[in-house]
Structure 1
């Protein structure tokens, strides 16, 4: 036991010498303590090397002498030696002032006193740091729910300001949403104010109402008169043609009348504003017609259902009745509405890539998907638009399902998509007027009680709508794709036949007053019908002979 004690002391002294030699290197607690001992007397290390075999009493005696020498040297020397004390992590070195050396050296004689000043200083700084952060957190995050950690750097984010009702704030909000380059998620934000704006946000609520507000339109007054006439008129003399379909469960003849009454209620909820172009800045009726003519061509290329085209154009008009659109985004609105309509009506709808190819990659898939969401939100997800062809099929039942008049009626009904003056006509009225004019073209001038009952309109209510269709036929051909579509053999070339019939009675470009010319027109039609029947009878006799 006694022989091991000097060996351990020699090892500690050797470590102190090595640390003193590397004083310029990274300091440590051992080296710092050895520097204090070395300042008192350097001969201690040499003595400890030469007295490796001394006894324990001699070692304790030398230790006491060294301690007393250090204390006396520190008190007698006026410029006390500067001692460097490490903070404990080997990064920085702190200089102890002269007034504190006596306290530090006195503590050496007790228990490891050189570490006490460092610990005291560090504790004081830590407490000050903690109190400062507590004060900052209490001042800044007084409304915070989750208190942040002490080690996390706190970033103060100011609360968003409430929207101002001043004119300047409204102007800034308008500029923020004005003419977005692409339809983005910001377009779904609610408008700040109700003032008229030129962006895609909602404007005045006055021009967003359906056609009931347009009381000055003759066609709207005619629609209201027609509804009142049908409801008050004694509807007599018609045959119950639905009874013939009682054995066919697909015709649901028991509920046919109720179904069409419901469709007439739905058509009034999906009517666009007939004068919405007046609220647009860049779109005119001419550009709308060009867009619809292109949509008709796109519809034919994809070979979609007729109901898809009608719903798509209804979505375009309803969306533009509620939102402003730039001319550069008009084609995006049209192709997106066709994409939505195809999803609703088609069994196998074209994909987004097909529509991107149709627009020659002018827009991306992201644009169409975002526009789809925006349009559906604008129209409040109301896709229950009753197609005019549904009412045309119903009225064609009273016409013995004449294929020619029905096909020509489809042509006249589709004119309602291009002619903006027919926007205020409900689908049921447009279908009935188209069938009435188609029968007139083929020589059937009588509007029978069955036709009146199944079309739900009397003849007087159909004349203003049919007059607009007739004037459209007499105009020079402007929409080539639409005219070529019904000039095909598939549709019996009804567009060519209707134009030939109209130009044979009136000159091209003439504005016809059908109500004034109705009596004379019926007389001419009846004469042509009589001549046609006589010619067919003669031809039949010749074949028999």
Structure 2
């Protein structure tokens, strides 16, 4: 066999297949209308902590951040973590979870989301390893059925990432790839905060895009950005501005909290990322 053919086969074996945006779906107004019409269906039925007695907000924040680290270290699709976060908040809204099982539920939500979105889903064995063996394989498979039952097997939830390509195709910004990467980072950051779980995905997506546009496309005025997003999504400009300011506050808080990391040496190449979505690289 020719050496070039062998090298090509090796490259093909290592490359992960990724879907690309379908221009037909992006141009069809019915897709955007359907997303906007259906998004409220996948919001938590109640605030997560209205139903919980043992789980506190900071505990959920820790577990969601851990889920983000795992998905980033495993190079999961960008849709996996926001979807897993949606599952987590929906489950907590309808089922009491003891604090000792919170990470187990988070691992299972990540497990299910990766099955739905990944070409090669995360294995249960790998998730057990990421929990530092605090949960067992049998517990993951048992809890998976519980989570699926609580979600009523309604797994194709609409997340903020579902709106990104739709809105960007209509906005037509200059540096599209960079703006999308920034917006995905902001969405991932919002997905670690339960207070964003009750907000419509279109609102989180639009506010994240507005934050990205203000950081990159400086020639766009704030009024022009909000007016354009309002014409696309139907969300009031004042509402967009308010939530965009909330995202900016979260970014500032995150950067302030992690500022001490800049003075520490970078991790070795074989170590996992300490900050999964590399938000500290964003100029804000």
TM-score (normalised: structure 1): 0.42
Within 5 A, what are the aligned runs for 1:47-86? none
Shift of 1:423: 2.1
Report the CA distance shift for 1:485/1:448 in structure 2 as closer, same or farther (over 3 A): closer
Structure 2 equivalent of residue 386 of structure 1: 158
Q: Equivalent of 2:40, from 268, 275, 278? A: 268
Shift of 1:396: 1.5
Distance in 2 (CA, whole Å) between partners of 1:250 and 1:379 is 29
Q: Is the CA contact 1:304–1:346 (under 8 Å) kept in the aligned structure 2?
A: yes
Distance in 2 (CA, whole Å) between partners of 1:264 and 1:452 is 13
Report the CA distance shift for 1:297/1:250 in structure 2 as closer, same or farther (over 3 A): closer
Q: Is the CA contact 2:82–2:191 (under 8 Å) kept in the aligned structure 1?
A: yes
Q: Is the CA contact 1:422–1:465 (under 8 Å) kept in the aligned structure 2?
A: no
Which 10-residue stretch deviates more, 384-393 or 438-447? 438-447
Distance in 1 (CA, whole Å) between partners of 2:146 and 2:153 is 10
1:190-234 Cα offsets, whole Å, 9 max, x none, are xxxxxxxxxxxxxxxxxxxxxxxxxxxxxxxxxxxxxxxxxxxxx
Distance in 2 (CA, whole Å) between partners of 1:403 and 1:274 is 36
TM-score (normalised: structure 2): 0.78
Residue 464 (str. 1) matches residue 256 (str. 2): no
Residue 406 (str. 1) matches residue 184 (str. 2): no
Q: Is the CA contact 2:85–2:192 (under 8 Å) kept in the aligned structure 1?
A: no
Distance in 2 (CA, whole Å) between partners of 1:343 and 1:389 is 17
Within 5 A, what are the aligned runs for 1:450-489? 450-475=228-253, 476-477=256-257, 483=275, 485-487=277-279
Q: Is the CA contact 1:425–1:465 (under 8 Å) kept in the aligned structure 2?
A: no
**5+ residue gaps in structure 1?**
1-248, 499-545
Structure 2 equivalent of residue 327 of structure 1: 99
Distance in 1 (CA, whole Å) between partners of 2:275 and 2:179 is 17
Shift of 1:424: 2.0
Within 5 A, what are the aligned runs for 1:161-200? none
Matched residue count = 244
Q: Equivalent of 1:257, from 21, 29, 35? A: 29
RMSD of aligned Cα (Å): 2.5
Report the CA distance shift for 1:253/1:299 in structure 2 as closer, same or farther (over 3 A): closer
Shift of 1:474: 2.7
Q: Is the CA contact 1:399–1:451 (under 8 Å) kept in the aligned structure 2?
A: no
Q: Is the CA contact 1:313–1:337 (under 8 Å) kept in the aligned structure 2?
A: yes
Q: Is the CA contact 1:293–1:418 (under 8 Å) kept in the aligned structure 2?
A: yes
Structure 2 equivalent of residue 349 of structure 1: 121
Q: Equivalent of 1:285, from 31, 53, 57? A: 57
Report the CA distance shift for 1:266/1:253 in structure 2 as closer, same or farther (over 3 A): closer
Shift of 1:485: 2.7
Report the CA distance shift for 1:415/1:487 in structure 2 as closer, same or farther (over 3 A): closer
Within 5 A, what are the aligned runs for 1:149-168? none
Distance in 1 (CA, whole Å) between partners of 2:195 and 2:229 is 25
Structure 2 equivalent of residue 93 of structure 1: none
Residue 301 (str. 1) matches residue 73 (str. 2): yes
**5+ residue gaps in structure 2?**
1-20, 262-272
Shift of 1:486: 1.7
Q: Is the CA contact 1:296–1:482 (under 8 Å) kept in the aligned structure 2?
A: no
Distance in 1 (CA, whole Å) between partners of 2:183 and 2:55 is 30
Shift of 1:448: 7.2
Shift of 1:273: 4.3
- Moved segments of 4+, more than 3 Å: 448-456, 478-484
Report the CA distance shift for 1:289/1:364 in structure 2 as closer, same or farther (over 3 A): same
Distance in 1 (CA, whole Å) between partners of 2:34 and 2:168 is 19
Residue 436 (str. 1) matches residue 216 (str. 2): no
Distance in 2 (CA, whole Å) between partners of 1:426 and 1:334 is 22
1:434-470 Cα offsets, whole Å, 9 max, x none, are 1112222232222276544334434223012112112
Structure 1 equivalent of residue 112 of structure 2: 340
Shift of 1:254: 8.4
